[in-house]
Amino acid sequence: MTYRKILEEIFTEVQPYFGKGKVADYIPALERIDPKKFGIAIATVEGECFHFGDAQEAFSIQSISKVFTLSLVFRKHGDALWKRVGIEPSGTSFNSLVQLEYEKGIPRNPFINAGALVITDILISDEKDPKAYVLNFLKTISRNDYIHYDQVVVDSEKAHGYRNASLVNFMKSHQNIVNNVDDVLDVYFHHCSIAMSCIDLAKAMLYFSNHGILPSSGERLLTVSQAKRLNAVMMTCGFYDEAGEFAFRVGLPGKSGVGGGIVAVIPGKLSVAVWSPELNPKGNSIVGMKALELFTTKTGMSIF
């Protein structure tokens, strides 16, 4: 069966899952999205790309940005990074602040908000213009110069960002934030507000599928070991409090965002991105998770 055919079948089979979740409503800019949107794209390490539905439409990637910022910082700092952020799953969502308090301002992993704020803080220390830096990186790896910050989302995030402000101030009180808290929040909100399509994301994730090398240019972005290790972090920490469920049902390293996007990686083969805005109570796209479960079942691809 061709990938094209598989994507079509998936679309048919996920129909019953529409209408069962809720579009993210914590900021007005996301609330307005059409809940019926659905896109899926595959990019192979050989350079092929397949897609279906609204795969060309840019949406708010939100926490998926955390994978890219982490890889930029990990590439530069290596294991020294883990002094400021852990790599363990975060357990129940109920204790996001509990654990941060118990562990004295060291976030459990780089994919919870607190952890990504630390990564952002490091980027600010390292780069003159951390917003342009990340955007340019994404343009390069997606081969798409139109990737941009969605200013409406940025403004909405800032107007409702009290919980993130709480986290960053808390970590600052534990000396785990170096820069000005408002600067950290500004850059962080920008990264969350990047707009990309499924096609962009599938291409952008390819260096994780290709042992650290960007297939389009042959450039090595991560060592083999680094690429493996970041895939491992995605596997254990990529889905908030649902990493176990995603591993159980889909069985691939990946990362989700509350914009309804999910990216996943089949090492050595391909990367896949799916978008459907309705979320389950844990913040992951319901249709997106089902689509990826069907994808691994239909292709027989799995890392296990």
Site residues (CB under 8 A) for its own copies? 86-92, 94-103, 108-109, 162-163, 165-167, 169-170, 172-173, 181, 225, 227-229, 231-233, 235-237, 241-245, 247-249, 251, 253, 267, 297, 302-304
At its nearest, how many Å lie between its own copies and the CB of residue 197?
A: 26
| Nearer CB in complex with its own copies: 53/86 | 86
What values do phi and psi take at 273, rounded to 5? -130, 140
- Torsion sign over Cα 279, 280, 283, 288: negative
User: For residues 136 and 123, what is the distance between their CA atoms, to the nearest angstrom?
Assistant: 14
At its nearest, how many Å lie between its own copies and the CB of residue 160?
A: 8
| Nearer CB in complex with its own copies: 56/225 | 225
Q: Which token pair is 64?
A: 């998926």
At its nearest, how many Å lie between its own copies and the CB of residue 303?
A: 4
| Nearer CB in complex with its own copies: 17/133 | 17
Q: Is 240 annotated as a binding residue?
A: yes
Q: Is 258 annotated as a binding residue?
A: yes
Q: Which token pair is 108?
A: 């459990």
At its nearest, how many Å lie between its own copies and the CB of residue 168?
A: 8
Burial class (CB in 10 A: 0-12, 13-18, 19+), 32: exposed
Q: Is 157 annotated as a binding residue?
A: yes
User: For residues 186 and 29, what is the distance between their CA atoms, to the nearest angstrom?
Assistant: 17
Q: Is 169 annotated as a binding residue?
A: no
Q: Is 164 annotated as a binding residue?
A: yes
At its nearest, how many Å lie between its own copies and the CB of residue 55?
A: 26
Q: Which token pair is 92?
A: 């129940």
Burial class (CB in 10 A: 0-12, 13-18, 19+), 12: exposed
| Nearer CB in complex with its own copies: 278/293 | 293
Q: Which amino acid is at 29?
A: A
Whether residue 236 contacts residue 90, with contact meaning beta carbons closer than 8 Å, is answered with no
| Nearer CB in complex with its own copies: 96/276 | 96
At its nearest, how many Å lie between its own copies and the CB of residue 210?
A: 12
| Nearer CB in complex with its own copies: 12/175 | 175
**43 CB-near residues (< 8 Å, 6+ apart):** 49, 199, 202, 203, 205, 206, 209, 270, 271, 272
| Nearer CB in complex with its own copies: 43/235 | 235
Three-state secondary structure of 145-202: CCCEECHHHHHHHHHCCHHHHHHHHHHHHCCCCCCCHHHHHHHHHHHHCEEECHHHHH
Q: Is 293 annotated as a binding residue?
A: no
At its nearest, how many Å lie between its own copies and the CB of residue 278?
A: 22
User: For residues 270 and 303, what is the distance between their CA atoms, to the nearest angstrom?
Assistant: 12
Q: Is 210 annotated as a binding residue?
A: no
Residues forming beta bridges with residue 23, ordered by sequence position: 278
Q: Residues marked as binding? A: 63, 113, 157, 164, 188, 240, 258
Residues flagged as binding site for substrate? 63, 113, 157, 164, 188, 240, 258
